[in-house]
Structure 1
Amino acid sequence: MKKQISTLGLTATLALAIGGSLFLAGNSVAEKAVPLPPAAYEQPAATSGAQTAIFAGGCFWGVQAVFQHTKGVINAVSGYAGGDKATANYGAVTRGTTGHAEAVEITYDPAQVSYAKLLQIYFSVAHDPTQLNRQGPDRGTQYRSAIFYKDAQQKEVAQRYIAQLDAARAFPAKIVTQLAPLAAFHPAEAYHQDYATRNPQSPYIVTFDAPKIVNLKAVMPEVFRDKPVLVAARK
């Protein structure tokens, strides 16, 4: 079932904050970060103005939180991509038949962080790109690994980086991330926004998402920001 973990399960995998780092006692179920090389190819820098990227990688709570803690990100919104507007709601998407993936729209300043760097974070920290239609405890096509590119440049950067990582055997299995043109992005319901920040004691967040933030700081400290940029702060 979607985003379910019992309090008993949390006790078995209790998260302990020790010296600023997070460790899972007992059987660790959180995804481990994979240190990755930067992309060998980057798209030409935008002349000016904010840009957007759309990534899907399992539950959007954790993906959103990772990019909210990334320097150069202006906003990160949880939502749905890949299906029709009529079915872009949580009740429909959780059935796994709408074509939507839980996704995050990242608005960023290309003068501070590049699209290629966002891809590096996405593959290294935000999710496991070798899992097909699942992430952690969540199962279904709505949890697939997918990059929704907005133009040919984004597509090329993503394609080349995936090929680079596969050629280097950066992961123990082949990357299964779907590349798809962005038709539309639909923001999720308000209660999904900033979920990890607003619910730090949630068993799901503690077990599956909080470790991603620790991983970002540990693996890519140069892009880590301690205070997240929140959707609520922009309203």
Structure 2
Amino acid sequence: MKRLALLLAAGALATTTACQQPAFAAEKVVEAPVAARKANEGTGLKTAIFAGGCFWGVEAVFSHTKGVTSAVSGYHGGTKRQADYKLVSSGVTDHVETVKVTYDPKVVRYDQLLQIFFSVVIDPTLKNRQGPDRGAHYNAELIPVSAEQRRVAASYLAQLKKSGLWDKPIVTSIEPARTFYAAETYHQDFADKNPRHGYIVRWDAPKVAALKRLYPSLYRAEFRRN
């Protein structure tokens, strides 16, 4: 099932309801535990890649997270030639919708980003889908870009699997870092630019609200635009 198709015409964003999606229950908010293993990434800005279904919501949550300096929607894997929204959303490519997050580890650590991700962004028991969206390009994945991130991600995933917080098995995987391609301009900062969009209201605004409620010390009211 595709998300609402998007077209860019005459310099303005237009939407079409080519696929009318049925109502689904919103993802269950589960407060994930504090990581037993803290990330030690030194100083300077770091990047990490997260795949969590529709990139609008992933970007929105991290853009409201203190310490995040940039959150860019894009496509991970596949080829440059096929890194196109129409192709990716059709499910014929090897890409996964992702968000590349740049952050200051002195303000927010990688393990804290993981905690936020599992608490309010995704349902880790779902394979090849999140929310109303279906297909391998909507799979939830952790994509570490350093050895330290990989160690922390593996430790935290093992911790979550032992926690018993979810009724079903956790299927979110850790994937090797491949090429990240930034998505089309009209996808960037989409939630901030289109707060009344039906998809944003239904699926993504609640995630940002959950971030504010569960992690007030890490919540930033201002949307960090790219």
Q: TM-score, normalised by structure 1?
A: 0.86
Query: What residue is the counterpart of 1:18 in the other structure?
Result: none
Superposition pairs of residues 103-118 of structure 1, within 5 angstroms? 103-118=98-113
Query: What residue is the counterpart of 2:11 in the other structure?
Result: none
1:31 lines up with 2:14 in the alignment: no
Q: CA deviation at 1:28?
A: 7.2
CA distance in 2 between counterparts of 1:170 and 1:160 reads: 16
Q: CA deviation at 1:29?
A: 2.8
* Aligned with residue 176 of structure 2, among 177, 181, 184: 181
CA distance in 2 between counterparts of 1:210 and 1:28 reads: 15
Amino acid at match of 2:52: G
Q: CA deviation at 1:3?
A: 2.0
Contact 1:66–1:126 (CA<8 Å) still a contact in 2? yes
1:209 lines up with 2:204 in the alignment: yes
1:172 lines up with 2:167 in the alignment: yes
Which ranges in structure 2 are unaligned for 5 or more consecutive residues?
5-15
Superimposed CA distance per residue, residues 108-133 of structure 1 (whole angstroms, 9 cap, x where no aligned partner): 00000000000001111111111000
* Aligned with residue 41 of structure 1, among 12, 37, 57: 37
Superposition pairs of residues 126-165 of structure 1, within 5 angstroms? 126-165=121-160
* Aligned with residue 62 of structure 1, among 57, 62, 66: 57
* Aligned with residue 51 of structure 1, among 39, 46, 52: 46
Superimposed CA distance per residue, residues 23-48 of structure 1 (whole angstroms, 9 cap, x where no aligned partner): xxxx87322321111110123231x2
CA distance in 2 between counterparts of 1:67 and 1:89 reads: 23
Please tell me the root mean square deviation across aligned C-alpha atoms, in Å. Answer: 1.9
Q: CA deviation at 1:145?
A: 0.6
Q: TM-score, normalised by structure 2?
A: 0.89
SS of match in other structure, 1:91: helix
Contact 1:88–1:100 (CA<8 Å) still a contact in 2? yes
Query: Alignment identity in percent?
Result: 49
Superimposed CA distance per residue, residues 161-180 of structure 1 (whole angstroms, 9 cap, x where no aligned partner): 01101101121112111211
CA distance in 2 between counterparts of 1:201 and 1:218 reads: 21
Q: CA deviation at 1:205?
A: 0.6
Aligned length: 213
Query: What residue is the counterpart of 2:8 in the other structure?
Result: none
Contact 1:71–1:224 (CA<8 Å) still a contact in 2? yes
Amino acid at match of 1:67: F
CA distance in 2 between counterparts of 1:210 and 1:49 reads: 30
CA distance in 2 between counterparts of 1:135 and 1:177 reads: 11
Query: What residue is the counterpart of 2:97 in the other structure?
Result: 102
CA distance in 2 between counterparts of 1:49 and 1:115 reads: 13
Which ranges in structure 1 are unaligned for 5 or more consecutive residues?
13-26
